[in-house]
Amino acid sequence: MDLFKQRIDELRQQLNQHNHNYYVLNQPTISDQEFDQLLRELQDLEETYPQYADPLSPTQRVGSDLSKGFVQVEHTRPMMSLANSYNIDEVQDFLRRAQDGLGGEPCEIVGEMKYDGTSISVTYEHGRLVRAVTRGDGVRGDDVTSNVITIRSVPLQLAEGLDWPDSFEVRGEILLPWESFDRLNLERQQNEEPLFANPRNAAAGTLKLQNSAEVARRGLDAYFYFLLGDNLPFATHSESLEALRRWGFKTGGHTVLPSIDAVSEFIAHWDVERKHLPVATDGLVFKINSRRQQLNLGATAKSPRWAIAYKFAPERECTRLQSVSFEVGRGGTITPVANLDPVLLSGTVVKRASLHNEDIIRQLDIHDGDMVYVEKGGEIIPKIVGVDTKQRQPGAQPLQFVTHCPVCGTPLQRIEGEAAWFCPNKWGCPPQITGRIEHFVGRHMMNIDGIGEEVAITLHEAGLVNNVADLYDLSEEKLVALDRFQSRSAQRILRGIEDSKQVPFARVIFALSIPYVGETTAKVLARNVHDIDTLMSMPAEQLAGIPEIGPKIAESIVEFFAREENREIVERLRAAGLQMSLSEDELASRSDRLAGKKIVISGVFAQHSREEYKAMIEQNGGKNVSSISKATDFVFAGENMGPAKLEKARALGIPIINEEEFLAMIQGN
C-alpha cells in the first residue's frame, strides 16, 4: 500500500477513536492541542493527495458553507410516535394491555430516558454512514446527511472486528446540549435575533440549516435508542442497545426492570437525577424487552403497542429571593433581574431570573425576601411565575422599582404607553456605551471577532473606545499594553476590524444602533435609500413613506441623525473606509419588479440556492415571508415542496411559480 495512503488511514482511525473517547465516552486520552496536530497533518495530506479523499474523513466534521436544499427520502420502515402516560397507573395499564395481547405471557420492561430533541434515522452499510433522514411525517423525511456528519458523537466509520451487520438502521435523537443552547441564545441576543424557545426547537432548526459549517459550529449531540435491520442476531432490545454502545454509538444508558415496583422506582429516581443531565429531557420511555414479543404485539396506525412514553410534570421550584438588581441595556432600558438562592432547573443551576418590567413586579405582588416559584422547563430564560405568600416574612415590604439609573444616576424616564423605564443618558452611561460596542461588532453587524462583553468593558474603561468609531483607531501597540491582551489576540481583533470595511451598507446601518432599526429594517432602508448621506438628510415624512418603516421608526432615525455625536461617528467611520452606500453591483441588480410582493419560498432549487433567491427577491423589491396566508402574493416552489404548504396554497388560491418562471419575472420577461 502507498505509504501516504497508509498514513492517511492511520490518522483517520486515530482521530475517529479520539472523537469517540471525547464526545461519547467523555474520557479523552490526548490533549486538544495533540488532537489538532493530528487533524492538521491529515488535512495537509488530504490536500496533497486528493485521490484519497473520503466524504466521511474526520476533516469533514467542520461542514461546508455551500448552500443546498434537502431531498425527501421515504423511510424503509415508518417512524412512529409513542403514546403518552403521566402516572404509574397508566404505565401499569400499558403493561397489562401488553400481557393481555400476549395471552398472559409475562413481559420484561426496559426503561430509558426520553430525550427532548429531534428524531433521526441513520443508515449504515459495510460499517459506513450512508444516509441520515429526519422523521418528517413518519413516512418521508429530509436527507440531512451532510449536517449529521458534522456531529462528533455520530460514528462515521465503525471500527473493524466488531459484530455489526453489513446493513442496518439506527434511530435516535439529535440534541443541543444546555451549554451549547445557552451560548447560542446569548449570541442571538447580542445580535438582536429571535431567541430559541428551547433546545428542542434549536436542535430542529439547526439540523435543517442549509450551511453545514454553521451546523458544526453550534455543537449538536446525538443519542441513539433503537436498532433496526433484517435478521438481527439479538433476542432482546437491551442486547441491541449494548451492541450499539459496543459499536461506538452514544446510547444514554438503559435499565431492565423486572416488575412494576422497579418501574416506579425508576421514575422516582430520574424525576430528580435528570436535572443533572447535560441535555434536555421531557420524560422516560418504557419498552417491552423481547423482540419476539414486540413483533407479536405490533402497532396501531400511529404508535407501537410495545412501547409507551412517560411525561414528567413541568419543572417548578420554590426558592428565596435574595435581591433584585436593575440592569441597563444598550438602548437604556432598565430590566429588573431577581437574584435567587441557587436552585436546579432543567439541567442547570439557576441563580437569576428575569422580572421583565415594573408592571410584572406589581402583578406578582413580590415583596423583599419572598419565596418565589421559578420555572424553566422549555423556556429560554428562567422566570418567576408566582409567590408563596404563606412563607412571606412579617413586615416584608413590596419590591420598589428604581427611580434613577443604577449606574450613572440619571433620573429614569418612561415613554407613554410602554412598560419599560429607560435611562436617557445615552452618551454618558457606561453600560449603554459598551452595549453599543458589543452590538456593532456582532456577527450579523460588522462581525469583528474577539470583542465580547468583557473586552468591550476593558476597552472602554481603558479610555480606548468611547464610541464605535474609536475601534478604527486601535493598534496592536495600544491593545497589548492592556493586561488581558497578547499579540495574537490583538492581531485577531485588528484583522476583524480591517475585514469589517467590506461589510455591506445594510449591515452598517444595523450596526449603528439606531433605535427600532433591526436587521430587516436596515435592509429595507439600504434598498430604498441607497446611501448614508441621503438617509441622514431625509425628513420623517419621507422616511415614513418607505414600505415597512412607519412614523415611529422614521422619527427615531431623524432624532438619531439630528445629534452631532452620531453624525461625527458616521463621518469617522466613512473616513475609516466603511461602506456607506450600496455597491455598484448591488445598485445594478436592483429593480422594482417585485415591489410590495410577499413571497414564500419552498422546496429545492437547481440553478441557485434558497438564500441566493431570497437575496434576489429583496434586490427586486419583494419581501420574503415564512408562512402562507391570504396576504401571500405567490409561492416560489422548487422540487419537493412541502405537501402542507402546497395544500394550503391551493386552498387559498395562491399562485405557485417555478424556477424558470421566477427568473423570467425578475428579468422583466
How would DSSP label each residue in 530-597?
-BHHHHHH--HHHHHTSTTTHHHHHHHHHHHHHSHHHHHHHHHHHHHT---B--HHHHHT--STTTT-
Residue-wise pLDDT tens digits, 466-500: 999 999 999 999 999 998 788 888 999 999 999 99
- Residue 642's pLDDT is 67
Q: What percent of the chain has a predicted confidence (pLDDT) above 70?
A: 94
On the question of pLDDT at 231 being above 60, the answer is yes
Calculate mean pLDDT across residues 520-532: 89
- pLDDT band at residue 462 under the 50/70/90 scheme: very high
- Residue 32's pLDDT is 62
Cell (9 digits) for 558: 431623524
Backbone angles phi, psi at 308, to 5 degrees: -150, 145
Helix (H, G, I), strand (E, B) or coil at 354: strand
Mean pLDDT of the chain: 87
- Residue 81's pLDDT is 84
- Residue 638's pLDDT is 83
Question: Of these residues, 5, 68, 114, 275, which one is catalytic?
Answer: 114
- Residue 346's pLDDT is 64
Residue-wise pLDDT tens digits, 599-622: 998 877 777 777 778 878 888 888
- Residue 55's pLDDT is 79
114 counts as catalytic:
yes
Q: Which residues contact 314 (CB under 8 A, 6 or more apart)?
A: 375, 377
Calculate mean pLDDT across residues 4-33: 78
Q: Which residues contact 146 (CB under 8 A, 6 or more apart)?
A: 63, 64, 68, 212
Backbone angles phi, psi at 612, to 5 degrees: -65, -40
Q: How far apart are CA 59 and CA 40, in angstroms?
A: 9
Amino acid (one-letter) located at 602: S
Q: How far apart are CA 444 and CA 439, in angstroms?
A: 9
Calculate mean pLDDT across residues 550-563: 93
- pLDDT band at residue 65 under the 50/70/90 scheme: very low
- Residue 477's pLDDT is 93
Q: Which domains does the chain have, with CATH numbers?
A: 3-62 (1.10.287.610), 74-311 (3.30.470.30), 316-402 (2.40.50.140), 430-502 (1.10.150.20), 505-587 (1.10.150.20), 592-666 (3.40.50.10190)
For the ranges 5-9, 54-58, 104-108, 344-348, the maximum mean pLDDT occurs at 104-108
- pLDDT band at residue 67 under the 50/70/90 scheme: very low
Burial 455-483 (b: 16+ CB within 10 A, else e): bbbbbbeeebbebbbbbbebeeeebbeee
Q: How far apart are CA 644 and CA 267, in angstroms?
A: 38
Q: How far apart are CA 162 and CA 170, in angstroms?
A: 16
- Residue 375's pLDDT is 82
CB atoms within 10 A of CB 328: 22
Q: How far apart are CA 327 and CA 496, in angstroms?
A: 29
Count how many Cα atoms sit within 13 Å of the Cα of residue 17 in the half-sphere of its side chain. 11
Please spell the DSSP secondary structure of 147-159, one letter per residue. Answer: HHTT-TTS-SBPP
Closest C-alpha among 386, 337, 391, 334 to residue 365:
386
End-to-end CA distance of the chain: 59
On the question of pLDDT at 192 being above 70, the answer is no
- pLDDT band at residue 432 under the 50/70/90 scheme: very high
On the question of pLDDT at 424 being above 80, the answer is yes
For residue 84, the surrounding DSSP H or E stretch is strand 84-85
On the question of pLDDT at 381 being above 70, the answer is no
Contact 156, 56 (CB under 8 A): yes
Calculate mean pLDDT across residues 355-369: 90
For the ranges 123-137, 349-363, 623-637, the maximum mean pLDDT occurs at 123-137
- pLDDT band at residue 213 under the 50/70/90 scheme: confident
- Residue 640's pLDDT is 66
- More confident of the two residues 483 and 536: 536
Cell (9 digits) for 319: 426558592
Burial 623-650 (b: 16+ CB within 10 A, else e): bbbeebeeebebbbbbebbeeebbebbe
Q: How far apart are CA 113 and CA 252, in angstroms?
A: 7
How many whole angstroms from its chain centre is CA 351? 23
Between the CA atoms of 124, 130, 134 and 138, what dihedral angle is there, to the nearest 10 degrees? -60
Backbone angles phi, psi at 384, to 5 degrees: -85, 125
Calculate mean pLDDT across residues 565-577: 96
Residue-wise pLDDT tens digits, 245-256: 999 999 988 999
- Residue 201's pLDDT is 83
- Residue 407's pLDDT is 95
Residue-wise pLDDT tens digits, 325-352: 999 988 899 999 999 999 877 666 788 8
